[in-house]
Amino acid sequence: MILELYMKNCALVEESRVSIGENLNILTGETGSGKSIIIEALGLCLGNKYDKSFLRKGTEKGIAEIIVSSQSENLKNILKEYDLDSEDDELIITRIIYADGKSVARINGRTIKMSILKEIALTFIDLHGQHQNQALFNKDTHLKFLDLFGGKKLEHPKNEYKEIYLEYNKVKKALNTLNENKDEKEIQREIDLLKFQINEIEAASLSKDEYDDLLKQREIFRNSEKIYNNLNLSYEKLHEGNVNAVDLIGMASHELSEISKYDSTLSEYSETIERIMYELQDICRDVRNYKENIDFEPYALEQIESRVDEINNLRRKYGDTIEDILNYHKKISTRLEEIINRDEMAEELKNKLEILEEELSKKADLLTNVRKEVAVDLEEAILKELKSLDMKGVTFKVNFTEISYSQHGNNDVEFMISFNLGEDMKPIYKVASGGEMSRFMLAFKTILADIDEIGTIVFDEIDTGISGIAAQVVGEKLHNIARKKQILCITHLPQIAANADTHFCIEKNSDENRTYTTIKRLDQEKSIQEIARLIAGSNITETTIEHAREIVNLTKKNH
């Protein structure tokens, strides 16, 4: 829903900030007061084309901005796709307009393309005016609307079809992958390459930890001279030198052992040093054995370097680690087996595909038949609603065209309509005027109010060509839909305005220099006075006001 609308330097509006109510918002005002400014400002925030004549005369820049709150999953998915943030499910959509005819669109301060703004707008608002229809004019949404209306009746055939389609698509992709649309020469070249790669990896006889072990060995061999020299020096200082650590510690141990009988603390010292001497002797033996057993043969380093180079060559070709190389070997071995056995596998997949396609055709036909039944119900429901709105000459048809299989079936659906007797039926976006389209959408939304995700609907010119009972019916339908959706409706009829949960009045005033439009939220008493103006024009009397009050009270009573 739209929480707030802000306009600055938009046509006759100098600056205005309007908090929009949750349910039915009615906008009224005298002809020419500027009601269409609100529709155009909203349209700019939804990605509509900017006409620089909309910018207030004498200014260089204007702003149209809305704050939107929506929990629509479709909206969340689109925002995620374009990496757009929304805090607490709220968006600030801003359209900045300039005197040179250029404009900029932003969401939460981030500049975006107009095409993205339009895509986002489709998820939370339908705007129906003289030239706009955000959802129904998009033919791609018609199947979605039909399926929404069908609800549970379509659930089972859709699930059955989709289950077969996913399997069918999987087999089809596997068949395409098998040959990858290559001719025999290309297939043979791939076989030769795979065999070469497999042989090269297998010839290397790789083991998982070998590379790391080789690097450690190479480091030792590259520093062999230093290692050997330092081992000799260390052993000499520990054990073989004229003055060495083992002898010195042994003497210290002997000296302490002679006096340990005089004090238990000295005894502990003696035992500790004696233990250190034995441990040091063990270490000396290990150092001597390591020194005597090392073999730094010149050709050993060459062998290690050669093996490291061999593995590095494989790493450059097939993976960063030996595990990567072995996994690649497994993958290409499987691919080679598939290609060698491709004729047999292809035949098997073709047979499976043929069986699935036959089953898919049956499920698609079943889904189409149920959809056509739902379409008849939708046609009847729409016509019934339109008749109650005093649109008796309308014919409406859901047109089906068969297309290639997709996850939604093989139906292309388009809504066709004629608003006048004797006229040919045409696609809905080609034939409807503003008022007719608004009333058609009112009928449509009445039917889909419980299941359509769109949270906000804007109606302009909905009262064109109606009065009396039909106007009262329109008001009641708007009220009923507004229990589930947010509605903004511009009207000239008191029967519709009387249903307002929130009532705004648009006024045009002038001072010595300029003409400007203001938007005021009316309290209950001022709303009654405005409805009286709709009834009697400027000749408002006490009787007119009482009549207006009676209409409002009667409307509330009927609710």
pLDDT tens-place values along the chain, 559 residues long: 999 999 999 999 999 999 999 999 999 998 878 888 998 999 899 998 999 999 998 899 999 999 999 888 888 888 888 888 777 788 999 999 999 999 999 999 999 999 999 888 888 887 765 444 456 777 888 998 899 899 899 999 999 999 999 999 999 888 887 766 666 788 788 889 999 999 999 999 888 888 888 888 888 777 777 887 888 888 888 888 888 888 888 888 888 888 888 888 888 888 898 899 899 989 999 888 887 777 667 677 788 888 888 899 999 999 888 999 999 999 999 988 878 887 788 888 899 999 999 999 999 999 999 999 999 999 999 998 888 887 888 899 999 999 999 999 999 999 998 888 878 888 887 775 666 777 788 888 888 877 777 889 888 877 877 777 888 888 998 999 999 899 999 999 999 999 999 999 999 888 777 888 999 999 999 999 999 999 988 788 899 999 999 999 988 887 7
Answering whether pTM is above 0.85, one says no
For residue 497, the domain's CATH number is 3.40.50.300
Instruction: With CA atoms as reference, report the closest residue to 413 among 363, 361, 374.
Output: 374
CA separation for the pair 482, 26 (Å, rounded): 11
Q: Are residues 325 and 440 in the same domain?
A: no
Residue 45 lies in a domain: yes
The residue range of the domain holding 304 is 210-337
Tell which of 314, 337, 360 closes a domain.
Answer: 337
Residue 521 lies in a domain: yes
Q: Are residues 124 and 19 in the same domain?
A: yes
What sections of 319-407 are H helices per DSSP?
322-340, 342-388
Residue 120 lies in a domain: yes
What sections of 389-420 are H helices per DSSP?
none
Q: Are residues 332 and 446 in the same domain?
A: no
pLDDT of residue 421: 80
pLDDT of residue 129: 55
pLDDT of residue 434: 63
DSSP-derived pairing of the beta strands 486-490 and 456-459? parallel
Residue 42 lies in a domain: yes
Torsion of CA 17, 20, 25, 29, to 10 degrees: 0
pLDDT of residue 229: 84
Q: Are residues 227 and 120 in the same domain?
A: no
Q: Are residues 225 and 333 in the same domain?
A: yes
Greatest distance between any 2 Cα atoms in the chain:
130
pLDDT of residue 131: 43
Residue 118 lies in a domain: yes
Measure CA of the first residue to CA of the last residue in the chain; give whole Å: 23
Residue 105 lies in a domain: yes
DSSP-derived pairing of the beta strands 502-510 and 90-98? unpaired
Which residues lie across from 124 on neighbouring strands? Answer: none
Instruction: Report DSSP letters for 84-148, one per residue.
Output: ---BTTEEEEEEEEETTS-EEEEETTEEE-HHHHHHHHTTTEEEESSS-BTTTT-GGGHHHHHHH
Residue 406 lies in a domain: no
Q: Are residues 6 and 129 in the same domain?
A: yes
Strand extents, DSSP E, 381-436: 395-406, 409-418, 426-427
Instruction: Report DSSP letters for 294-343, one per residue.
Output: ----HHHHHHHHHHHHHHHHHHHHH-SSHHHHHHHHHHHHHHHHHHHTHH
How many other CB atoms are there within 10 angstroms of residue 317's CB atom? Answer: 12
Q: Are residues 325 and 231 in the same domain?
A: yes
Tell which of 337, 354, 378 closes a domain.
Answer: 337
Residue 460 lies in a domain: yes
Tell which of 293, 318, 337 closes a domain.
Answer: 337
Q: Are residues 129 and 216 in the same domain?
A: no
How many domains, in total, are found in the chain?
Answer: 2
